[in-house]
Amino acid sequence: MLKTNPTGAGKGVRTAAEYLAGLQDDREVWTGGERVKDVTTHPATRRGAATLASFLERQSDPALLDTLTYEDEDGDRCAMAFMLPKSKEDVKRRGKAYYEWATWSHGMFGRTPDYKNASLMAFAGAAQWLDLGTERGMGNPDFTQNMRNYYDYARKNDLVLTHTLLNPHKSHAVAGQGRFDDEVALHVVRETDAGIIVRGARLLATLGPTADEIEVFPSTVLKGSDENIPFAFAFAIPIATPGLKLLARDTYDLGKSHFDAPLSSRFEEMDAVVIFDDVLVPWERLFMYREPGLCNQAFAKTNAVVHMMHQVACGKLAKAEFMVGLMSAIAQSSARDKDLHVKGMIAEVMMMCETVRALLFSAEEQAQEDEWGNWIPLRCPLDTSRNLFPKMYPRMVEILQLLGSSSLMATPAEADFSNEISEDVARYFQLANLESRDRVALFRLAHDVCVSGFGSRQALYERFFFGPPALMHSLYYDLYDKEPLIGRVNDLIKA
């Protein structure tokens, strides 16, 4: 079982069995109107947990060891996402590992642990910033050490983390003014010798039910005023902390075979609202406290956001490649791959795929040292990718629907190949270049991407998981180096 002491003496990457054993604790997870006794056996989460366990296990595969892990100062093999990048080569090594992880689910298990581990690495690598504090000078050396300890603990124990950034709000008008409602938003109730007591809810914890711990970091929209002090903190605690409840949505894993539901039977990563019912957060697990200004800058100042964007872009490349493969297979199966219109639609997706690849290449090739002595990929290309993909992916889904059309509904079940209707199925579902069984398998896969509940959630995820699109676009505009370009325009009109 995992220890909660911040210097727990793990030895780096874990096996599948160790991860699954760690989930069998007192965590309070609810789904479909019932409390889940054991997330490793409950139908809603069982196969998603098993998938993630198999992913963790691959880190010990000798053939992948150098891609997925690095040797730390004690000679332990730790997950690559924890490695502090000290050169451009390190940045590229990290990218290669992210991409490898993503190919295992074709980007459909978006929240692999490398996402959060990348941000934790960045926070630890710039932890002195927590000490330097803000213009108000409220940094805290204890919190700097807490962050470094937690990073060591997480990487030595190969933790699987989820995170939750947003407070729910009852009124968008109030939220628009940068204020929170302490009837629903997560806030500090009191302090004790042991730590702070927090109450309220947070949105949304993807992977929450099958994570080891949860990072509760600040939303980046805290108004820097005193009224937001009770909402300003960053901490991490085990999912199995007393008073912490996860209310998960309905599962998309309906217990079907891999043939019938190729994606949802494997890659249900689950999302949950998190409720804190007077939860104790030990002082040693606090990283920021009572400093809205510090909280607002945290992801940007530490470059955690850049490292997260890097992991995301690698995952989106794997996902886009998969979509190209799926669409091309569909076109070939019915011999429509000579059709100008069909080729044009798939070419559009190929171009999206190559756009992500080029942006990733550009970011890694232009990697640079940051003010903390760590190396980061160039932000602008990655930011371009994170702003474009939420538009690209729904378009990919639309194109898949246009290509698949009624074939997406002509999807008999696996059982129909062995029951009394099997002869009809074998005859009437064949295509020019595919036997019936393979055709049905292919279109059931396409169905899971663009029609099923699992597929719809994927599109929603891509639209929103990294933040509200309008806000991300506006930030992109603010950061873009516009002045030299405006200068050119001015030069022309003044010439």
Ligand X SMILES: Cc1cc2nc3c(=O)[nH]c(=O)nc-3n(C[C@H](O)[C@H](O)[C@H](O)COP(=O)(O)OP(=O)(O)OC[C@H]3O[C@@H](n4cnc5c(N)ncnc54)[C@H](O)[C@@H]3O)c2cc1C
Q: Is 459 in the site for ligand X (CB under 6 A)?
A: no
> Site size for ligand X, by CB under 6 A?
20
Residue number with CB closer to ligand X (201 or 446): 201
Q: Is 119 in the site for ligand X (CB under 6 A)?
A: no
Residue number with CB closer to ligand X (187 or 439): 187
Span near ligand X by CB under 6 A; candidates 34-42, 161-169, 250-258, 341-349 = 161-169
Q: Hey, which residues does 234 pair with through a beta bridge?
A: 288
Q: Is 268 in the site for ligand X (CB under 6 A)?
A: no
Q: Hey, which residues does 201 pair with through a beta bridge?
A: 185, 275
Q: How far is the CB of 175 from ligand X (least distance, A)?
A: 8
Q: Is 206 in the site for ligand X (CB under 6 A)?
A: yes
Q: Is 203 in the site for ligand X (CB under 6 A)?
A: yes
Q: Is 467 in the site for ligand X (CB under 6 A)?
A: yes
Residue number with CB closer to ligand X (229 or 475): 475
CA dihedral 70, 76, 77, 82 (to 10 degrees): -60
* Cβ proximity of 286 and 196 under 8 Å: yes
d(CA 231, CA 438): 54
Neighbouring C-alpha atoms within 13 Å toward the C-beta of 195 = 20
Q: How far is the CB of 166 from ligand X (least distance, A)?
A: 5
Residue number with CB closer to ligand X (144 or 302): 302
Residue from 312, 304, 310, 311 nearest 363 by CA: 310
Residue number with CB closer to ligand X (333 or 385): 385
Q: Is 165 in the site for ligand X (CB under 6 A)?
A: yes
* Cβ proximity of 114 and 79 under 8 Å: yes
Q: Is 164 in the site for ligand X (CB under 6 A)?
A: yes
Q: Is 163 in the site for ligand X (CB under 6 A)?
A: yes
Q: How far is the CB of 113 from ligand X (least distance, A)?
A: 12
What are the CA-CA distances from residue 444 to residues 258, 326, 403 (Å)? Answer: 10, 11, 14
Q: Hey, which residues does 195 pair with through a beta bridge?
A: 282
Return the sign of the alpha-carbon dihedral for residues 220, 381, 99, 90: negative
| Residues 224-263 as x/- pattern, contact with ligand X by CB under 6 A | ----------------------------------------
Residues 394-413 close enough to bind ligand X by CB under 6 A = none
* Cβ proximity of 253 and 221 under 8 Å: no
Q: How far is CA 151 from the centre of its chain?
A: 18
Q: Which of 2, 102, 159, 204 binds ligand X (CB under 6 A)?
A: 204
d(CA 483, CA 80): 38
Question: Greatest CA span in the chain, whole angstroms?
Answer: 82
The footprint of ligand X (CB under 6 A) covers: 162-166, 203-206, 271, 457, 460-461, 464-465, 467-471
